[in-house]
Amino acid sequence: MTLEEKLSLIKQVGEEIVTEEDLKELLKSDEQLIAYDGFEPSGQMHIAQGILRTININKMTKAGIKFKMWVADWHALTNNKLGGDLNKIKTVGKYFIEVWKACGMDLENVEFHWASDMVKNPDYWQLVINVGRTNKLARFIRTAEFMGREESAEKLTAAQIIYPCMQIADIFMLGAKITQLGMDQRKVNMLAREIGPQLGYWKPVVVSHHMLMSLATPPKSDSDKTSRMIELKMSKSNPEYAVFMTDTTEYIKRKINKAWAPEGVIEENPVLEYCKYIIFPILDDPTSYKLQATSFDINRPAKWGGPMKITSYDELIKKYAAKEIHPQDLKNTVAALLDKLVEPVRKHFEENEVAKKLLETVQSYKVTR
């Protein structure tokens, strides 16, 4: 694969890359590049974590990059996920891995690492402390969005203050030259670029993927846009806002039918976002996810225009903006395709006894923010 081909794949993942020149230099080297993403196990997995994550990682590994998935169980503990019960958090972490297996994630080029193993290393804690010594407290507090929070210092616990120091230390302990996380974690990753050279490490390249919106009505105020961006992360406590990886056919239809999608409106339309970031990337490259090739077919009676085959996302938004596609026809098509996408995962958790038991256990937990 040429340098340009690799860059093209990574650009499909990164809504923002800091910096593209740094990334090019890494790709030109003979070094085996390591990218990482971290996740807090905290409840059932929605499609942004399952399908979108699988698509992005498979594109990165196709570009020749090895991936380290960081099971941030201790981070979830500091963030009081699942009431701070570490055993529950670890169980959810195992469930997450089972979901990705069923999705067809390229596990030959993905390693899972657990924070609960790393914390046994005293060198890790020395690095955490050294990271914390580089800046005033206020600088770390400004990164609180990455925890899915927009809170003042008075509302954060002392444990949550440690979190960004741990996350920055993770990057260097894992040997990750590339951080591949959501736009919500941009601030902490940019801080890592500052701190790395100060402590004798590198400036990690930050490849930030798009954060899917929730299915709810968008906020009226521009000041609430960031809140909506992180709403999907919080949707475990309000499952009507997102499609989850083991949702039934009926549940998917109900959620999509209730989603905000006014006729002719493109901006902030979550149903169209699902098309842009999940459905069409898979239709364009069926190897990116565990699904046989299919197509975006709008099936409707002749009196409403008859069947319509859409070949690209650009074509879809043009026809939707022109009101050639009714919201209900869009929703019916998207619900049917999403159902096909989660079907292999549902089947895995129905037929595999280990996976089935994990899901039942996770479903019994009360999810807390």
* Residue 344: inside a domain: yes
* Residue 368: inside a domain: no
pLDDT digits (tens, 9 = 90+) for 135-163: 998 899 888 765 555 555 677 888 888 99
In this predicted structure, the answer to whether residue 303 has a pLDDT above a threshold of 60 is yes
In this predicted structure, the answer to whether residue 228 has a pLDDT above a threshold of 60 is no
Which of these three, 182, 209, 236, is where a domain ends? 209
Q: Are 57 and 128 in the same domain?
A: yes
* Residue 369: inside a domain: no
Q: What number is the average pLDDT over the span 27-38? A: 94
In this predicted structure, the answer to whether residue 307 has a pLDDT above a threshold of 70 is yes
pLDDT at 106: 93
How many other C-beta atoms lie within 10 A of the C-beta of residue 351?
A: 9
pLDDT at 48: 92
pLDDT at 142: 85
* Residue 215: inside a domain: no
The predicted model scores a pTM of 0.90
* Residue 214: inside a domain: no
How many other C-beta atoms lie within 10 A of the C-beta of residue 295?
A: 9
* Residue 240: inside a domain: yes
Q: Are 203 and 229 in the same domain?
A: no
Q: Are 160 and 259 in the same domain?
A: no
Q: Are 170 and 250 in the same domain?
A: no
CATH (domain of 86)? 3.40.50.620
Q: Are 197 and 263 in the same domain?
A: no
Percentage of the residues of the chain whose pLDDT score is greater than 70: 91
Q: Are 275 and 316 in the same domain?
A: yes
Which of these three, 178, 209, 240, is where a domain ends? 209
> How many separate domains does the chain show?
2
pLDDT at 234: 44
Amino acid, single-letter form, for residue 96: F
Which of these three, 174, 209, 244, is where a domain ends? 209
In this predicted structure, the answer to whether residue 233 has a pLDDT above a threshold of 80 is no
Q: Are 172 and 313 in the same domain?
A: no
pLDDT digits (tens, 9 = 90+) for 287-298: 788 766 578 999
Phi-psi domain of 87 (left: phi exceeds 0; alpha: psi -120 through 50; beta: other) = alpha
Q: Are 196 and 251 in the same domain?
A: no
**Domain limits at 22?**
3-209
CATH (domain of 245)? 1.10.240.10
Q: Which of 39, 40, 53, 103 is nearest to 246 (CA)?
A: 103
Q: Are 83 and 202 in the same domain?
A: yes
pLDDT band at 224 (very low <50, low <70, confident <90, very high): low
Residue 96 CB-density burial (10 A; 0-12 exposed, 13-18 middle, 19+ buried): buried
pLDDT at 312: 95
In this predicted structure, the answer to whether residue 308 has a pLDDT above a threshold of 80 is yes
pLDDT at 221: 62
In this predicted structure, the answer to whether residue 230 has a pLDDT above a threshold of 50 is no
In this predicted structure, the answer to whether residue 222 has a pLDDT above a threshold of 90 is no
- Give, in degrees to the nearest 5, the angle at Cα 369 between 68 and 147: 45
Q: Are 199 and 233 in the same domain?
A: no
Q: Are 27 and 98 in the same domain?
A: yes
> Average per-residue pLDDT in the chain?
90
Specify the range with the lowest mean pLDDT, choosing from 135-144, 203-212, 256-265. Answer: 135-144
Could you give the count of Cα atoms lying within 13 Å of 15 in the half-sphere of its Cβ?
13
pLDDT band at 241 (very low <50, low <70, confident <90, very high): confident
Q: Are 35 and 145 in the same domain?
A: yes
pLDDT band at 231 (very low <50, low <70, confident <90, very high): very low
CA–CA gap between residue 112 and residue 116 (Å, rounded)? 12
Give the contacts of 164 (CB within 8 A, at least 6 positions apart). 140, 143, 146, 188, 191
Q: What number is the average pLDDT over the span 229-254? A: 76
